[in-house]
Amino acid sequence: MKNFDSHISSKNQDWEKVAKSQLSEQGVVVIRDLISFSDLEKINEKVDNILKQPSLLGNIGYYQKDPYKKLYDGFLIHEKIIDIFLNEKIIRIIENYLKDEILINEIFLKNDLGSNTKYFPYHRHTGADLIKIPNHPFGCGMALYLHDTESGAFCYSIESHKTKSTEETREIFSIYEHPESKNLIKKLSRINGKQGDIILFDEKGFHGPEQPTKTPRKIILSGFQLKKYTNNKTRTEIPVLISNLSGLSDKQKDVIGINSGSRGTFESYHLRNLNNNLVIDHFSKLISKKYNYIDKKTNFINRIKNKFENIF
């Protein structure tokens, strides 16, 4: 696979204009130098603690629905995540590209475990969940690299966002099912990046993590879509700590979804939809048995204590 090593520094003059131009031409752009090292340290410290143990019985920990990845709600990691993903310069680039107001869709931490398995195809977002499927761009994804990333990096089929949509191809999700799959796969590029790099991409283009690979990666993923095509509704109900919303501008409040609705419920979101997970069922039974044992043991000890107290 080809490497994509291009990036735009936020320290450069007119970087927003250049970023928007590259997003239009190639479908993807890497933005560097927008996040301080100290903020990245704070975020990574929280991420490392979250990934130490699974979420059980209310503790802070990761969610896991298969052997290939660990997940967590993005805005619950650290307040700095809000500052990064609601950065008004980033919002301005996306709105200038999409030519209208945007609303956040979702945000989550994804820790791919390097299982050397192809568990999810390179894909695109078709807009099938929108009010109507437009022919022009309707949404942008956003990714934050939490460490220097090459092997196992985010991949994008360069210029695939320009692929003409027909009645036959409009709802094709996987790159392997598209009539032009051979050419689209040939254009797939590994988006190499440094810790703190932000990737913006047109979600109509084919994308996904490099697979198979033995190299794990940690990334925070989000997306924004045009409000007019979502009926001002986020893809899911997004959890956030209310105290972290202080200081947001009216624009940021609008983009994060204050006064918006939702197209999906909190419990049905893919991070939490584990109803048929056999691992959950197994551990639920183990936990129940353990607490029953503790309860019986405690009652037995209390009965013995009461007998001795009555004797003496």
Same-domain check for residues 9 and 115:
yes
**What pTM value is reported for the model?**
0.92
User: Which residues have a Cβ under 8 Å from the Cβ of 258 and sit 6 or more positions away?
Assistant: 245
Same-domain check for residues 250 and 308:
no
- Buried b / exposed e across 292-305, counting CB within 10 Å, b at 16+? eeeeeeeeeeeeee
Same-domain check for residues 230 and 287:
no
Same-domain check for residues 209 and 294:
no
Same-domain check for residues 286 and 217:
no
**Number of domains the chain is built from:** 2
How would you list the strands of the sheet with 188-191, edge to edge? Answer: 2-4, 188-191, 154-157, 207-209
List the structure tokens of 168.
């036959």
Same-domain check for residues 264 and 283:
no
The Cα angle at residue 73 between residues 72 and 76, in degrees rounded to 5? 115
Same-domain check for residues 251 and 232:
yes
Chain position carrying tokens 């993903």 = 85
Q: Write the CA distances from 80 to 41, 44, 45, 50, 85, integer angstroms.
A: 11, 11, 12, 16, 9
Residue 252's CATH number: 2.60.120.620
What tens-digit pLDDT sequence spans the chain (312 residues)? 999 999 999 999 999 999 999 999 999 999 999 999 999 999 999 999 999 999 988 899 999 988 999 999 999 999 999 999 999 999 999 999 999 999 999 999 999 999 999 999 999 999 988 987 777 899 999 999 999 999 999 999 999 999 988 878 888 999 999 999 999 999 999 999 999 999 999 999 999 999 999 999 999 999 999 999 999 999 999 999 999 999 999 999 999 999 999 999 999 998 887 766 777 788 888 888 988 999 999 998 998 888 877 776
Same-domain check for residues 145 and 291:
no
Same-domain check for residues 113 and 207:
yes
List the structure tokens of 172.
């094709």
Same-domain check for residues 308 and 239:
no
Spatial contact of 109 and 81, defined as CB atoms under 8 Å apart: no
Q: Write the CA distances from 285 to 7, 222, 278, 279, integer angstroms.
A: 50, 35, 11, 10
Same-domain check for residues 213 and 185:
yes
pLDDT at 276: 60
| Radius of gyration over every alpha carbon of the chain, rounded to an integer in angstroms | 23
Chain position carrying tokens 């568990």 = 119
Pairing of strands 69-73, 63-66: antiparallel
Pairing of strands 139-145, 198-202: antiparallel
Same-domain check for residues 82 and 109:
yes
Domain around 300: 279-312
CA atoms within 13 A on the CB side of 120: 16
